[in-house]
Amino acid sequence: MKSASPPLMRRKLTPLENYFSVRLKKDLIRGLGKHSHHRAAVKMLPTFVRATPDGTEKGDYLALDLGGTNFRVLYVRVVEEQQKVVKMDSKICSIPQEMMLGTGEQLFDHIAQCLGEFLESQDLKGQTLPLGFTFSFPCEQKEIDKSILIRWTKGFSCSGVEGQDVVKLLKEAIHRRGDYDIGSVAMVNDTVGTMMSCGYRDQSCEIGMIIGTGTNACYMEEIKNVKRVEGEDGRMCINTEWGGFGDDGSLKDILTEFDEVVDQTSINPGVHTFEKMISGMYLGEIVRLLLVKMAEDKLLFKGETSEALLTPGQFETKYISEIEDGLENAQKILTALGLNWDPVDACVVRLVCDTISSRSARLCAAALATISNRIRVNRGLDHLKTTVGVDGTVYRKHPNFSEELQAAVRLLAPKCDITFLVSEDGSGKGAAMVTAVAQRIWLPGCMLSFIFLPIFVYI
Ligand code: BGC
């Protein structure tokens, strides 16, 4: 049984979260603006998804999922009777570090190879199942199957992909092989996939949030507020790309020296400031830098460090969850890191982990509360009842992250009654769900054009 660490239970909400809400609110509006979106730190990307599931969708789909160190191919079935997306089979291919930093051609050849092997193993070569591609990076969606990568995040930096159409690169890689072909492609961000897959179970799901290697959220916005898209009626899902919050310097006064080092030593300095304070790719490194500083200041480990503690990346984010889960874990991890610890050190390290994960949960809560409040005000409601589909290793695996985030959201958005629904493989199955919704609401033949209708986009 996991226990919440005592310091967490005693804390009260600080003004930090309110500060964030005010700033973020302005940035959301800037990102939606017709003329201001070009220089907006929070990109607020229109996804052209205009409808959430109603539970009547069905059919077989292929899904691709690229967003972290693994690439996955899935064969999924949407079963109407059970209101379920069932994974028939899947294959995982790891993406080696060199490939994350190599050329785009190498990356897409690898993806095409993985997909080819999967189709072969499932006897699906030659079939033209609709394919959903969850690509979890900021993209300017031009059409359902045309999505331009704005920039890489989360440790990826493949050359020749930024500014290019990702679907085109995938198709070119498949044609280079020449042994199979694919049918129609629907591109989705993982937040959108998460919202859509949760939306099948709970039709009031209108927000998708990821707190994993990276962080981001999407939500259903009134079209009349999306100034880059023509139209007055209805709603459209907006991929906020909130990880970029602060990239214009708006969070400078609350960044710590440790945040600054993490940014400077990352492969993309100055980019995704908010994400670097929050997500799994960076939390372990923030804790490591803090522990080194405390040891140097003779506050820990009798003033000594170890080779492992001094090596960037050696304090993994999963250690934070393990250490907060119990002191015994803390002791084992400190020993494995070659540190000469005493019982007080172990308690202090646990407190450091709690402080960093707690800050992350509260910042996310502030961002989520801002979005929920915005939806409520948009609709002229005194009280909003809504559901957030959520996924990501930090949210799922940390012993009290979700609890703390939810408590802070309740304080910051008291007029919003929010249900949190953990997505069952949203980024894998969600892309299939997007294609399924499209099939439900439009005639076969021009099926994908309704939910992804690019009426007119001002770029
Ligand atoms: C990307 C987002 C993605 C998030 C979570 C961020 O780095 O920019 O597009 O949704 O990570 O995977």
CA dist., res. 356 & res. 333, Å (int): 17
Distance (Å, whole) CA 170 – CA 223 = 31
Note whether 59 and 440 are within 8 A (CB).
no
CA distance 390 to 425: 10
57 lines ligand 1 (CB under 6 A): no
Cβ atoms of 99 and 70 closer than 8 Å: no
424 vs 333 pLDDT, higher one:
333
**Domains in the chain and their CATH numbers?**
15-45+201-424 (3.40.367.20), 48-188 (3.30.420.40)
Residue 154 bears catalytic tag: yes
The answer to whether the CB of 190 is under 6 A from ligand 1 is yes
Tell me if 323 sits within 8 A of 354, measured CB to CB.
no
Helix (H) or strand (E) holding 353: helix 343-378
pLDDT, greater one: 446 or 375: 375
Tell me the mean pLDDT in the region 358-374.
96
Q: Annotated catalytic, 190? A: yes
Distance 174 CA to ligand 1 centre (A): 25
454 vs 122, 146, 226, 427, 438, CA distance in Å?
Answer: 34, 11, 13, 23, 14
CA 361 to chain centre: 14
C-alpha dist (Å) from residue 82 to 79, 427, 437: 6, 20, 16
Interval 73-84: pLDDT, tens = 999 887 776 667
| 36-40, 235-239, 324-328, range with the lowest pLDDT | 36-40
Task: Using CA atoms of 246, 154, 86, 140 in order, give the dihedral in degrees to the nearest 10.
Answer: 60
What are 73's two structure tokens?
Answer: 């191919």
DSSP strands (E only) in 302-415: 384-391
Mean pLDDT of 83-93: 82
Reported as a single tens digit per residue, the pLDDT across 308-320 is: 999 999 999 999 9
Between residues 124 and 52, the one the model is more confident about: 124
437-449 pLDDT, tens per residue?
766 654 344 334 4
Are 291 and 349 a contacting pair, CB within 8 Å? Answer: yes
Cβ of residue 214 lying under 6 Å from some atom of ligand 1: yes
Give the number of the atom of ligand 1 that is nearest the alpha carbon of residue 139: 9
The predicted pLDDT at position 87 comes to: 76
pLDDT confidence of 85, banded at 50, 70, 90?
confident
Which residue of the set 27, 109, 154, 165 is catalytic? Answer: 154
CA–CA distance, 429 with 447 (Å, rounded to integer) = 19
- Closest C-alpha among 136, 140, 133 to residue 182: 133
Highest mean pLDDT among 17-26, 78-87, 281-290: 281-290
* Structure-token match 């980019």, residue found: 271
The residue annotated as part of the active site, out of 27, 145, 190, 247, is 190
Structure tokens at 30: 């800037």
- E-strand ranges in 159-251 read 185-188, 205-211, 215-222, 235-239
pLDDT, one tens digit per residue, over 56-78 is: 777 888 899 998 778 999 998 87
pLDDT at 438: 66
243 lines ligand 1 (CB under 6 A): yes
The H-assigned helical ranges of 45-103 are 97-100
Helix axes 327-336, 317-325, angle to 10 degrees: 140
Q: How far apart are CA 377 and CA 385, in angstroms?
A: 12
pLDDT at 53 over 80: no
